[in-house]
Amino acid sequence: MSPPVGRHDGWLRLGLWCGQSGSSRVEEVRVITIEDVPVREVWSRLSSDAKAVLIDVRTRSEWAFVGLPDLSGIGKQVIAIEWQTFPDNRINPDFVGSLSELLDVAGVEKSAELFFICRSGGRSRMAAQVMAEAGYARCRNVTEGFEGPLDADRRRGRRSGWKVAGLPWVQG
């Protein structure tokens, strides 16, 4: 049930429930914010925190043709799971369930720092948001992504991103 605009019968426009008919009960609204973290900082945190995880949410074709971050040098593996399927770009309806299962099998706790990466930071932000809503407390977005934004020539992989930063990666 959504509150009407303004104040009416216990609802405040802010979205906080303040009770009806004079009740003083207040329910807290949880606001989830996703921290944007640059690629070099992600590498630093992955290297220094044994529990931190990198989750690549790009498509299988992107992993195969563009490449994958390589965490073998720090004794880790990337968890690869599609946020959207290719070629139809449908959001994976079982994303939360499938990723939760992968994390559970890997022994990752809900309090671990999870870094979500995609091509340039859009899909990864959405994936981080839904996992935070599912109870994973420290979901982060890799802002520059694997290839970064388009340059003046409308090409990726030249301005910023995992590859441009010179971080380890392998061809899928």
43-77 burial string, b = 16+ CB within 10 Å, else e?
beebeeeeebbbbbbbbeebbeebbbbbbeeeebe
pTM across the whole model: 0.81
Look-up of token digits 């671990």: 112
Q: Indicate whether 13 pLDDT > 60.
A: no
Residue-range domains of the chain with CATH: 1-31 (no CATH), 35-170 (3.40.250.10)
Could you report the per-residue pLDDT of 32-56, keeping only the tens digit for each? 889 999 999 999 999 999 999 999 9
Q: How confident is the model at residue 147 (pLDDT cuts 50, 70, 90)?
A: very high
Most confident range (mean pLDDT) of 3-12, 13-22, 85-94, 98-107 is 98-107
Q: Which has the higher per-residue pLDDT, 129 or 11?
A: 129
Element (H, E) at 169: strand 169-170
